[in-house]
């Protein structure tokens, strides 16, 4: 058995995406900044990709800037917004991805900003009442709150938070790396100043992503160099990556309703089977709530035991790839700052299963069966 349930870490490339990329790896090799025919050909591929991405997100092509992935996009939006607008206060949460958390920590260490963490409710959702208070206390702050948490799947209501930020004249950055390609963002309706995407989370290639920057919230570049990306990000463009990214986004949009239904079905199947077969199982965050969590992510909480601490290792031995990390760091797993923030001191086992269009119901059944065996072997011994 070889089962891949770690699609929040990365997804397999769609063969249709690979076909679209191929000509840009071999025959169409020009540098897009060159003005001759070889250059013009690839320049036009970049610009038509940008136009297509903008159409899908309902924004203008000038608002899409290609980057090397989610990490660079998050770094750019945070660093450049703070520097361009002289921002002194950032409002974020302790369960942001490290691409956001560490960037903010660095700015704070350098004495550039003060960071204020918003309170979370027991399920890991942002306490909107507390956010309101912080917005009043620090007008004009940069707010950085992720759309879907990569470990829990918890979803933030972007419309509501966007409106709150608009009223408070705050800059709203949202790390949307886990939702672009799985959720339709309508940038004309959302008040988001900057958001981020990584192609490898929706069956595109690794090492390519983009940031959306609202046209009335322009920022200075973070990566300095040539005039590429409308002077917003220096460096020769990753042309085959850009073509692959946008092809993957097109496929994702084309098939989104069908896939959402199918993948939600896999997630519900796993929840029900786990509840029936694994004693003491529960779910971290709001992961099992299909209305308030991303359909691709399920974070399972297992009773405390030495075996459950080694659960990822044991699943791997059975040919099952998943990920996790409990609140406390020990054994074969490294600690998770997300679970650590929500469940301080908890020694329960944690496994994040994340699904894609390529997973099959039989795989879910097999994984639950193995997980039940691993957990029950401890209970009966
Ligand atoms: C929520 C979130 N933000 C940012 C990133 C970083 O993206 P990349 O791997 O493209 O740098 C990831 C990837 O794990 C993620 O899940």
For 304-350, the pLDDT digits (tens) are: 887 777 899 999 999 999 998 666 654 445 689 999 999 999 989 99
Question: Does ligand 1 lie within 6 Å of residue 148's CB atom?
Answer: no
The residue-averaged pLDDT of 216-241 equals: 95
Q: Name every residue whose Cβ is closer than 8 Å to that of residue 26 and which is 6 or more positions away in sequence.
A: none
Name the percent of the chain lying above pLDDT 70. 96
Nearest C-alpha neighbor of 143 from the set 183, 206, 193? 193
Q: Is the CB of 297 under 6 A from ligand 1?
A: no
| pLDDT band for position 381 (cuts 50, 70, 90) | very low
Report whether residue 70 contacts ligand 1, using a CB cutoff of 6 Å.
yes
Dist CA 147 CA 144 (whole Å): 10
Q: Which residue has a Cα nearest atom 16 of ligand 1? A: 150
- Most informative mutation of 66, 67, 70 for ligand 1 (most atoms within 8 A of CB): 70
Report CA(277)–ligand 1 centroid distance (Å): 33
The model's pLDDT over 2-11, given as tens digits with 9 standing for 90+, comes to 999 999 999 9
Length of the chain: 381
Q: Which residues are catalytic?
A: 328
Residue 209 near ligand 1, beta carbon < 6 Å: yes
What pLDDT is attached to residue 317?
A: 94
Q: Which of 155, 180, 185 is nearest to 289 (CA)?
A: 155
Tokens at residue 268, please?
A: 């519900």
Q: Would you state the pLDDT for residue 328? A: 62
Q: Is 71 in the pocket of ligand 1 (CB under 6 A)?
A: yes
Nearest residue (CA) to ligand 1, atom 14:
9
Q: Which atom of ligand 1 is nearest to the CA of 9?
A: 14
| Nearest alpha-carbon partner for 82 in 60, 105, 58, 48 | 105
Q: Is any atom of ligand 1 closer than 6 Å to the C-beta of 153?
A: no
247 lines ligand 1 (CB under 6 A): no
Look up tokens 């994340």; give the residue: 354
The arrangement of strands across the sheet holding 89-92 comes to 64-67, 209-213, 194-198, 171-174, 142-144, 89-92, 114-117
pTM to 2 decimals?
0.96
Q: Return the half-sphere exposure (C-beta side, CA atoms, 13 A cut-off) of residue 344.
A: 2
Q: What is the pLDDT of residue 377?
A: 73
Q: What is the pLDDT of residue 378?
A: 54
Q: How far is the CA of 180 from the centre of ligand 1 (A)?
A: 11
The closest-lying atom of ligand 1 relative to the alpha carbon of residue 72 is 11
**pLDDT reading at 115 higher than 60:** yes
- What is the 71 CA–ligand 1 centroid distance (Å)? 6
Instruction: Compute the average pLDDT of residues 341-362.
Output: 95
The pLDDT of 280-290, averaged and rounded, is 97
pLDDT at 333: 55
Residue 334 is predicted with a pLDDT of 67
Would you call 183 helix, strand, or coil by DSSP?
strand
Is the separation of the CB atoms in 87 and 171 below 8 Å? Answer: yes
The dihedral through the CA atoms of 336, 327, 315, 361 has a sign that is: negative
Nearest protein Cα to ligand 1, atom 7:
70
Q: What is the pLDDT of residues 32-68, one digit of tens each?
A: 999 999 999 999 999 999 999 999 999 999 999 999 9
């Amino acid at each position: 058995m070889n089962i891949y349930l770690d699609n929040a870490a990365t997804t397999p490339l769609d063969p249709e995406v690979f076909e679209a990329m191929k000509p840009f790896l071999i025959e169409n090799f020009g540098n897009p900044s060159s003005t001759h025919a070889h250059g013009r050909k690839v320049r036009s591929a970049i610009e038509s990709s940008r136009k297509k991405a903008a159409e899908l997100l309902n924004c203008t092509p000038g608002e899409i800037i290609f980057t090397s992935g989610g990490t660079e996009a998050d770094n750019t939006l945070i660093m450049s917004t703070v520097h361009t607008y002289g921002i002194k206060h950032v409002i974020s949460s302790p369960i942001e991805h490290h691409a956001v958390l560490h960037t903010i920590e660095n700015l704070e260490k350098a004495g550039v900003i003060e960071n204020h963490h918003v309170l979370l409710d027991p399920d890991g959702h942002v306490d909107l009442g507390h956010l309101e208070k912080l917005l009043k206390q620090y007008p004009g702050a940069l707010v950085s709150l992720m759309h879907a948490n990569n470990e829990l799947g918890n979803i933030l209501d972007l419309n509501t938070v966007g409106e709150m930020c608009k009223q408070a004249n705050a800059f709203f950055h949202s790390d949307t790396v886990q939702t672009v390609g799985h959720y339709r963002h309508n940038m004309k309706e959302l008040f988001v100043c900057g958001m981020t995407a990584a192609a490898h989370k929706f069956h595109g290639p690794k090492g390519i992503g983009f940031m959306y920057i609202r046209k009335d919230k322009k920022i200075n570049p973070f990566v300095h160099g040539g005039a590429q990306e409308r002077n917003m990000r220096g460096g020769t463009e990753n042309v085959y990556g850009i073509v692959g990214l946008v092809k993957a986004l097109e496929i994702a949009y084309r098939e989104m309703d069908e896939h959402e239904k199918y993948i939600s079905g896999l997630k519900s199947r796993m929840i029900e089977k786990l509840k029936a077969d694994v004693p003491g199982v529960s779910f971290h965050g709001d992961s099992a709530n299909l209305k308030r969590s991303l359909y691709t992510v399920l974070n399972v909480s297992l009773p405390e035991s030495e075996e459950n601490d080694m659960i990822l290792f044991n699943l791997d031995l059975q040919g099952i790839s998943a990920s996790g990390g409990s609140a406390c760091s020990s054994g074969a797993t490294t600690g998770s700052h997300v679970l650590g923030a929500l469940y301080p001191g908890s020694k329960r086992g944690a496994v994040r299963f994340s699904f894609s269009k390529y997973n099959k119901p039989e795989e879910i059944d097999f994984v639950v069966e193995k997980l039940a065996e691993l957990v029950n072997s401890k209970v009966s011994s």
